[in-house]
Structure 1
Amino acid sequence: MNRNRWIMVALVLLIGAALYGNSGKGLLSFLKASDKSEATLNQTSESLIAIAAQGAPKPGTLSPEFSLVGLDGKTYQVGGKRDKPLLINFWASWCDPCKEEAPDLVALANKYSNQLDVYGVNVTMYDKLDNVEKFVEQYGYTFPVLLDEKEEVFRKFNGAAFPTNVLVDKDGVIQDLIIGILPADELEAKLKKLLD
Protein backbone atom coordinates (compact mmCIF):
# COMPACT_ATOMS: atom_id res chain seq x y z
CA MET A 1 0.00 0.00 0.00
CA ASN A 2 2.76 2.46 0.98
CA ARG A 3 4.73 1.69 -2.19
CA ASN A 4 1.66 2.52 -4.24
CA ARG A 5 1.34 5.80 -2.33
CA TRP A 6 4.95 6.71 -3.25
CA ILE A 7 4.29 5.85 -6.88
CA MET A 8 1.11 7.94 -6.87
CA VAL A 9 2.94 10.91 -5.29
CA ALA A 10 5.66 10.62 -7.91
CA LEU A 11 3.11 10.37 -10.71
CA VAL A 12 1.25 13.44 -9.46
CA LEU A 13 4.55 15.35 -9.37
CA LEU A 14 5.33 14.16 -12.88
CA ILE A 15 1.91 15.29 -14.14
CA GLY A 16 2.43 18.66 -12.46
CA ALA A 17 5.85 19.02 -14.06
CA ALA A 18 4.45 18.01 -17.44
CA LEU A 19 1.64 20.52 -17.17
CA TYR A 20 3.96 23.29 -16.01
CA GLY A 21 6.77 22.56 -18.48
CA ASN A 22 4.70 21.74 -21.54
CA SER A 23 1.48 23.64 -20.91
CA GLY A 24 -0.36 20.31 -20.86
CA LYS A 25 1.19 18.88 -24.05
CA GLY A 26 2.90 16.05 -22.15
CA LEU A 27 -0.23 15.06 -20.27
CA LEU A 28 -1.92 13.26 -23.18
CA SER A 29 1.12 11.10 -23.88
CA PHE A 30 1.49 10.40 -20.16
CA LEU A 31 -2.14 9.29 -19.88
CA LYS A 32 -1.75 7.02 -22.92
CA ALA A 33 1.30 5.48 -21.25
CA SER A 34 -0.68 4.81 -18.05
CA ASP A 35 -2.50 1.92 -19.74
CA LYS A 36 0.75 -0.03 -20.15
CA SER A 37 1.77 -3.21 -18.39
CA GLU A 38 3.20 -3.53 -14.88
CA ALA A 39 6.70 -3.65 -16.41
CA THR A 40 6.08 -0.23 -17.91
CA LEU A 41 4.81 1.02 -14.54
CA ASN A 42 8.00 -0.26 -12.88
CA GLN A 43 10.10 1.43 -15.57
CA THR A 44 8.17 4.64 -15.04
CA SER A 45 8.66 4.52 -11.26
CA GLU A 46 12.40 3.80 -11.76
CA SER A 47 12.60 6.78 -14.11
CA LEU A 48 10.82 8.96 -11.56
CA ILE A 49 13.32 7.88 -8.91
CA ALA A 50 16.16 8.80 -11.26
CA ILE A 51 14.59 12.22 -11.91
CA ALA A 52 14.12 12.86 -8.19
CA ALA A 53 17.70 11.78 -7.49
CA GLN A 54 19.01 14.45 -9.85
CA GLY A 55 18.57 17.05 -7.12
CA ALA A 56 20.29 14.92 -4.49
CA PRO A 57 23.71 15.81 -3.14
CA LYS A 58 26.28 14.39 -5.55
CA PRO A 59 29.39 12.35 -4.90
CA GLY A 60 32.30 14.71 -4.38
CA THR A 61 30.19 17.26 -2.47
CA LEU A 62 29.96 17.78 1.27
CA SER A 63 27.27 15.81 3.05
CA PRO A 64 24.39 17.94 4.31
CA GLU A 65 24.74 18.59 8.03
CA PHE A 66 22.16 17.22 10.41
CA SER A 67 21.56 16.21 13.99
CA LEU A 68 19.05 13.53 15.02
CA VAL A 69 18.11 11.68 18.19
CA GLY A 70 18.49 7.90 18.14
CA LEU A 71 16.36 5.17 19.65
CA ASP A 72 18.96 5.07 22.43
CA GLY A 73 18.18 8.71 23.36
CA LYS A 74 21.58 9.99 22.21
CA THR A 75 22.00 12.78 19.66
CA TYR A 76 24.04 12.00 16.55
CA GLN A 77 25.54 14.62 14.27
CA VAL A 78 26.71 14.42 10.68
CA GLY A 79 28.63 17.10 8.84
CA GLY A 80 32.30 17.89 8.48
CA LYS A 81 35.31 15.76 9.41
CA ARG A 82 34.78 12.48 11.26
CA ASP A 83 36.89 9.82 12.95
CA LYS A 84 35.58 7.12 10.59
CA PRO A 85 33.80 6.99 7.24
CA LEU A 86 30.02 6.70 7.51
CA LEU A 87 27.24 4.69 5.87
CA ILE A 88 23.87 6.43 6.25
CA ASN A 89 20.96 4.08 5.55
CA PHE A 90 17.51 5.69 5.09
CA TRP A 91 14.76 3.12 5.65
CA ALA A 92 11.21 2.38 6.80
CA SER A 93 9.88 -0.69 8.61
CA TRP A 94 7.20 -1.41 5.97
CA CYS A 95 9.72 -1.34 3.10
CA ASP A 96 10.27 -4.85 1.67
CA PRO A 97 13.67 -4.01 0.10
CA CYS A 98 14.72 -2.61 3.51
CA LYS A 99 13.81 -5.95 5.08
CA GLU A 100 15.80 -7.75 2.41
CA GLU A 101 18.82 -5.50 2.95
CA ALA A 102 18.73 -5.50 6.79
CA PRO A 103 20.72 -8.72 7.43
CA ASP A 104 23.46 -7.57 5.03
CA LEU A 105 23.71 -4.19 6.76
CA VAL A 106 24.01 -5.84 10.17
CA ALA A 107 26.72 -8.21 8.90
CA LEU A 108 28.69 -5.39 7.24
CA ALA A 109 28.31 -3.08 10.25
CA ASN A 110 29.65 -5.81 12.53
CA LYS A 111 32.48 -6.78 10.16
CA TYR A 112 33.74 -3.21 9.74
CA SER A 113 32.78 -1.78 13.16
CA ASN A 114 36.37 -0.67 13.90
CA GLN A 115 36.68 1.18 10.57
CA LEU A 116 33.16 2.38 9.73
CA ASP A 117 30.19 4.06 11.40
CA VAL A 118 26.73 2.99 10.27
CA TYR A 119 23.66 5.08 11.04
CA GLY A 120 20.24 3.71 10.21
CA VAL A 121 17.95 6.70 9.68
CA ASN A 122 14.31 5.74 9.99
CA VAL A 123 12.08 8.24 8.23
CA THR A 124 9.61 8.10 11.09
CA MET A 125 7.20 10.53 9.45
CA TYR A 126 6.14 7.56 7.27
CA ASP A 127 6.41 4.94 9.99
CA LYS A 128 5.24 4.07 13.49
CA LEU A 129 7.69 4.02 16.39
CA ASP A 130 6.41 0.63 17.58
CA ASN A 131 7.10 -0.86 14.13
CA VAL A 132 10.56 0.74 14.07
CA GLU A 133 11.45 -0.84 17.42
CA LYS A 134 10.14 -4.25 16.31
CA PHE A 135 12.12 -4.03 13.05
CA VAL A 136 15.34 -3.14 14.91
CA GLU A 137 14.84 -6.03 17.33
CA GLN A 138 13.84 -8.52 14.61
CA TYR A 139 16.89 -7.80 12.45
CA GLY A 140 19.29 -7.31 15.35
CA TYR A 141 20.50 -3.82 14.49
CA THR A 142 23.67 -3.15 16.46
CA PHE A 143 24.31 0.29 15.00
CA PRO A 144 22.54 3.53 15.99
CA VAL A 145 19.04 4.02 14.62
CA LEU A 146 18.17 7.69 14.26
CA LEU A 147 14.63 9.04 14.00
CA ASP A 148 13.87 11.50 11.19
CA GLU A 149 10.44 12.38 12.59
CA LYS A 150 9.68 15.26 10.21
CA GLU A 151 11.47 13.90 7.13
CA GLU A 152 13.80 16.92 7.26
CA VAL A 153 17.01 14.95 6.84
CA PHE A 154 15.61 12.69 4.11
CA ARG A 155 14.63 15.86 2.23
CA LYS A 156 18.18 17.28 2.58
CA PHE A 157 19.35 14.23 0.65
CA ASN A 158 16.43 14.65 -1.79
CA GLY A 159 15.21 11.22 -0.74
CA ALA A 160 13.31 9.43 -3.47
CA ALA A 161 12.98 5.81 -2.31
CA PHE A 162 13.72 3.38 0.49
CA PRO A 163 16.30 2.23 1.09
CA THR A 164 18.78 4.94 0.19
CA ASN A 165 22.40 4.51 1.26
CA VAL A 166 24.89 7.37 1.40
CA LEU A 167 28.62 6.71 1.78
CA VAL A 168 30.50 9.59 3.42
CA ASP A 169 34.29 9.69 3.85
CA LYS A 170 36.24 10.97 6.89
CA ASP A 171 36.33 14.47 5.41
CA GLY A 172 32.52 14.60 5.30
CA VAL A 173 32.44 14.25 1.51
CA ILE A 174 29.83 12.03 -0.15
CA GLN A 175 31.55 9.26 -2.08
CA ASP A 176 28.46 7.37 -3.27
CA LEU A 177 24.68 7.60 -3.17
CA ILE A 178 22.78 4.34 -3.72
CA ILE A 179 19.02 4.34 -4.27
CA GLY A 180 17.54 0.88 -3.74
CA ILE A 181 19.40 -2.22 -2.68
CA LEU A 182 22.59 -3.78 -3.96
CA PRO A 183 23.72 -7.38 -3.55
CA ALA A 184 25.80 -7.66 -0.35
CA ASP A 185 29.06 -8.25 -2.24
CA GLU A 186 28.56 -5.10 -4.36
CA LEU A 187 27.78 -2.98 -1.31
CA GLU A 188 30.83 -4.41 0.47
CA ALA A 189 33.03 -3.57 -2.54
CA LYS A 190 31.84 0.05 -2.33
CA LEU A 191 32.54 0.07 1.41
CA LYS A 192 36.07 -1.28 0.88
CA LYS A 193 36.71 1.49 -1.63
CA LEU A 194 35.43 4.02 0.94
CA LEU A 195 37.74 2.59 3.61
CA ASP A 196 40.88 2.70 1.42
Structure 2
Amino acid sequence: MKRNLYILLAALVLVGVALFQNVGPGFAAVFQSESSKELPAETGPKAGLLAPPFSLQGLDGNTYKVGGQQDKAIMINFWASWCDPCKEEAPDLNRLAQKYKDDLVIYGVNVTKFDKVENAKQFVNHFNLTYPVMFDKEGKVNEAYKGVAFPTNVLVDKHGVIQEVILGILPPDQLESKIKKLIK
Protein backbone atom coordinates (compact mmCIF):
# COMPACT_ATOMS: atom_id res chain seq x y z
CA MET A 1 0.00 0.00 0.00
CA LYS A 2 2.82 2.42 0.92
CA ARG A 3 4.66 1.49 -2.22
CA ASN A 4 1.66 2.47 -4.39
CA LEU A 5 1.39 5.78 -2.56
CA TYR A 6 5.07 6.55 -3.25
CA ILE A 7 4.64 5.68 -6.93
CA LEU A 8 1.57 7.92 -7.16
CA LEU A 9 3.39 10.82 -5.49
CA ALA A 10 6.40 10.39 -7.79
CA ALA A 11 4.11 10.38 -10.84
CA LEU A 12 2.37 13.58 -9.68
CA VAL A 13 5.71 15.31 -9.11
CA LEU A 14 6.89 14.31 -12.60
CA VAL A 15 3.65 15.54 -14.18
CA GLY A 16 3.98 18.83 -12.29
CA VAL A 17 7.57 19.32 -13.43
CA ALA A 18 6.62 18.52 -17.03
CA LEU A 19 3.75 21.02 -16.95
CA PHE A 20 5.90 23.71 -15.37
CA GLN A 21 8.60 23.32 -18.04
CA ASN A 22 6.31 23.00 -21.05
CA VAL A 23 3.51 25.44 -20.34
CA GLY A 24 5.92 28.36 -20.49
CA PRO A 25 6.54 31.64 -18.77
CA GLY A 26 2.85 32.40 -18.24
CA PHE A 27 2.50 29.42 -15.91
CA ALA A 28 5.82 30.14 -14.18
CA ALA A 29 4.86 33.79 -13.67
CA VAL A 30 2.12 32.73 -11.30
CA PHE A 31 4.79 31.57 -8.87
CA GLN A 32 7.00 34.67 -9.11
CA SER A 33 6.76 37.62 -6.78
CA GLU A 34 6.39 41.09 -8.25
CA SER A 35 9.97 42.00 -7.34
CA SER A 36 11.44 38.93 -9.02
CA LYS A 37 9.87 39.54 -12.44
CA GLU A 38 12.32 40.64 -15.09
CA LEU A 39 11.78 43.89 -16.92
CA PRO A 40 11.78 43.83 -20.71
CA ALA A 41 15.13 44.58 -22.33
CA GLU A 42 13.61 46.32 -25.35
CA THR A 43 12.20 49.85 -25.51
CA GLY A 44 9.43 50.94 -27.80
CA PRO A 45 6.06 52.59 -28.07
CA LYS A 46 3.91 49.58 -27.27
CA ALA A 47 2.58 47.82 -24.23
CA GLY A 48 5.00 45.47 -22.54
CA LEU A 49 8.14 47.35 -23.59
CA LEU A 50 10.17 49.86 -21.63
CA ALA A 51 9.14 53.44 -22.29
CA PRO A 52 11.67 55.16 -24.55
CA PRO A 53 13.65 57.47 -22.24
CA PHE A 54 13.56 61.21 -22.72
CA SER A 55 14.23 64.45 -20.91
CA LEU A 56 12.47 67.73 -21.75
CA GLN A 57 12.33 71.14 -20.18
CA GLY A 58 8.92 72.13 -18.92
CA LEU A 59 7.11 75.41 -19.31
CA ASP A 60 7.94 76.01 -15.63
CA GLY A 61 11.71 75.77 -16.33
CA ASN A 62 12.16 72.37 -14.66
CA THR A 63 13.51 69.36 -16.52
CA TYR A 64 11.32 66.26 -16.55
CA LYS A 65 12.54 62.76 -17.31
CA VAL A 66 10.88 59.54 -18.35
CA GLY A 67 12.66 56.21 -18.38
CA GLY A 68 13.44 53.52 -15.88
CA GLN A 69 12.22 53.16 -12.31
CA GLN A 70 10.05 56.05 -11.03
CA ASP A 71 8.34 56.89 -7.75
CA LYS A 72 4.97 57.17 -9.49
CA ALA A 73 3.23 55.86 -12.57
CA ILE A 74 3.31 58.26 -15.52
CA MET A 75 0.79 59.25 -18.13
CA ILE A 76 2.40 60.97 -21.12
CA ASN A 77 -0.13 63.07 -23.03
CA PHE A 78 1.01 64.05 -26.55
CA TRP A 79 -1.09 66.97 -27.78
CA ALA A 80 -1.33 70.02 -30.04
CA SER A 81 -3.16 73.30 -29.41
CA TRP A 82 -5.21 73.06 -32.64
CA CYS A 83 -6.50 69.56 -31.78
CA ASP A 84 -10.20 69.65 -30.84
CA PRO A 85 -10.14 66.28 -28.99
CA CYS A 86 -7.13 67.62 -27.00
CA LYS A 87 -9.24 70.61 -25.97
CA GLU A 88 -12.07 68.30 -24.94
CA GLU A 89 -9.73 66.11 -22.89
CA ALA A 90 -7.73 68.86 -21.12
CA PRO A 91 -10.19 69.53 -18.24
CA ASP A 92 -10.43 65.79 -17.51
CA LEU A 93 -6.63 65.45 -17.42
CA ASN A 94 -6.43 68.39 -15.01
CA ARG A 95 -8.99 66.73 -12.72
CA LEU A 96 -7.21 63.34 -12.88
CA ALA A 97 -3.81 64.95 -12.21
CA GLN A 98 -5.18 66.47 -9.01
CA LYS A 99 -7.16 63.44 -7.90
CA TYR A 100 -4.29 60.93 -8.33
CA LYS A 101 -1.33 63.23 -7.58
CA ASP A 102 0.02 60.86 -4.90
CA ASP A 103 0.30 57.89 -7.31
CA LEU A 104 0.42 59.35 -10.83
CA VAL A 105 2.16 62.15 -12.66
CA ILE A 106 0.77 63.43 -15.94
CA TYR A 107 3.24 64.97 -18.38
CA GLY A 108 1.77 67.04 -21.18
CA VAL A 109 4.05 66.93 -24.20
CA ASN A 110 3.15 69.53 -26.80
CA VAL A 111 4.48 68.29 -30.13
CA THR A 112 5.68 71.75 -31.07
CA LYS A 113 7.07 70.46 -34.36
CA PHE A 114 3.42 70.48 -35.50
CA ASP A 115 2.31 73.48 -33.42
CA LYS A 116 3.48 76.92 -32.31
CA VAL A 117 4.89 77.70 -28.86
CA GLU A 118 2.64 80.75 -28.45
CA ASN A 119 -0.49 78.75 -29.31
CA ALA A 120 0.58 76.01 -26.90
CA LYS A 121 1.12 78.56 -24.10
CA GLN A 122 -2.34 80.02 -24.76
CA PHE A 123 -3.81 76.50 -24.56
CA VAL A 124 -2.09 75.90 -21.20
CA ASN A 125 -3.37 79.21 -19.83
CA HIS A 126 -6.88 78.78 -21.24
CA PHE A 127 -7.31 75.34 -19.64
CA ASN A 128 -5.26 76.31 -16.56
CA LEU A 129 -3.25 73.10 -16.81
CA THR A 130 -1.76 72.18 -13.45
CA TYR A 131 0.45 69.29 -14.56
CA PRO A 132 3.91 69.73 -16.13
CA VAL A 133 3.84 70.73 -19.79
CA MET A 134 6.86 70.32 -22.06
CA PHE A 135 7.66 71.30 -25.63
CA ASP A 136 8.89 68.66 -28.07
CA LYS A 137 10.20 71.31 -30.48
CA GLU A 138 11.92 68.95 -32.89
CA GLY A 139 9.37 66.15 -32.51
CA LYS A 140 12.02 63.63 -31.43
CA VAL A 141 10.06 62.36 -28.42
CA ASN A 142 6.91 62.02 -30.52
CA GLU A 143 8.95 60.07 -33.09
CA ALA A 144 10.41 57.79 -30.39
CA TYR A 145 6.83 56.97 -29.36
CA LYS A 146 5.75 56.59 -33.01
CA GLY A 147 3.10 59.28 -32.60
CA VAL A 148 0.32 59.05 -35.19
CA ALA A 149 -2.58 60.93 -33.62
CA PHE A 150 -3.45 63.72 -31.21
CA PRO A 151 -4.03 63.20 -28.43
CA THR A 152 -2.05 60.07 -27.65
CA ASN A 153 -1.82 58.95 -24.02
CA VAL A 154 0.89 56.53 -22.96
CA LEU A 155 0.43 54.83 -19.58
CA VAL A 156 3.75 53.86 -17.97
CA ASP A 157 4.02 51.94 -14.69
CA LYS A 158 6.51 52.71 -11.88
CA HIS A 159 8.98 50.24 -13.40
CA GLY A 160 9.12 52.20 -16.66
CA VAL A 161 7.11 49.64 -18.64
CA ILE A 162 4.39 50.85 -21.00
CA GLN A 163 1.08 49.33 -19.99
CA GLU A 164 -1.10 50.89 -22.67
CA VAL A 165 -1.08 53.36 -25.58
CA ILE A 166 -4.37 55.19 -26.10
CA LEU A 167 -4.92 56.91 -29.45
CA GLY A 168 -7.56 59.62 -29.28
CA ILE A 169 -9.76 60.33 -26.30
CA LEU A 170 -11.77 58.06 -24.06
CA PRO A 171 -14.82 58.91 -21.99
CA PRO A 172 -13.52 60.27 -18.64
CA ASP A 173 -14.75 57.26 -16.63
CA GLN A 174 -12.95 54.80 -18.95
CA LEU A 175 -9.70 56.77 -18.76
CA GLU A 176 -9.96 56.93 -14.98
CA SER A 177 -10.55 53.17 -14.84
CA LYS A 178 -7.33 52.61 -16.81
CA ILE A 179 -5.44 54.93 -14.46
CA LYS A 180 -6.74 53.06 -11.41
CA LYS A 181 -5.51 49.81 -12.94
CA LEU A 182 -2.12 51.40 -13.73
CA ILE A 183 -1.46 52.65 -10.20
CA LYS A 184 -2.41 49.40 -8.42
| TM-score category of the 2 structures, normalised to the smaller one | 0.7 to 0.9
Provide the secondary structure at the position in 1 that maps to 2:97: helix
Deviations along 1:93-119, one digit per CA (max 9) or x if unpaired, are 000000011111011111111111110
> Alignment identity in percent?
60
The amino acid of 1:193's aligned partner reads: K
Alignment match, 1:116? 104
Q: Is the partner of 1:110 in helix, strand or coil?
A: helix
2:54 paired residue among 34, 53, 66: 66
Give the structure-2-normalised TM-score: 0.75
The secondary structure found in structure 1 opposite 2:166 is strand
Q: Deviations over 1:24-74 (max 9, x none)?
A: xxxxxxxxxxxxxxxxxxxxxxxxxxxxxxxx6221110001111111111
Give the alignment partner of residue 93 of structure 1, picking from 69, 73, 81.
81
Q: Does 1:148 align with 2:148?
A: no
The alignment partner of 2:142 has SS state of helix
Deviations 1:150-174 (A, max 9, x none): 0000000100000000000000000
Paired residue type of 1:62 = L
CA distance in 1, matches of 2:119, 2:46: 31
Runs (4+) of structure 1 exceeding 2 A deviation are: none
Higher Rg of the two aligned structures = 2
- How far residue 186 of structure 1 moved from its aligned partner, in angstroms, is 0.3
**Residue in structure 2 matched with residue 83 of structure 1 by the alignment:** 71
**TM-score of the aligned structures, taking structure 1 as reference length:** 0.71
Alignment partner of 1:185 out of 158, 173, 176: 173
Matches of 1:118 and 1:100, distance apart in 2: 16
Give the secondary structure class of the aligned counterpart of 2:177.
helix
Give unpaired runs (5+ residues) of structure 1: 1-55
Match of 1:175 in 2: 163
How many residues in Structure 1 have an aligned counterpart in Structure 2?
141
Alpha-carbon distance in 1 for matches of 2:95, 2:114: 26
Q: CA RMSD in A?
A: 0.8
Q: Deviations over 1:122-179 (max 9, x none)?
A: 0011111111111001111001001100000000010000000000000000001000
CA distance in 2, matches of 1:89, 1:69: 15
**d(CA) in 2 for partners of 1:169, 1:146:** 20
Secondary structure at the aligned position of 1:62 is classed as coil
> Superposed, which structure 2 residues align to 1:22-61 within 5 Å?
57-61=45-49
Q: Which residue of 2 aligns with 1:16?
A: none
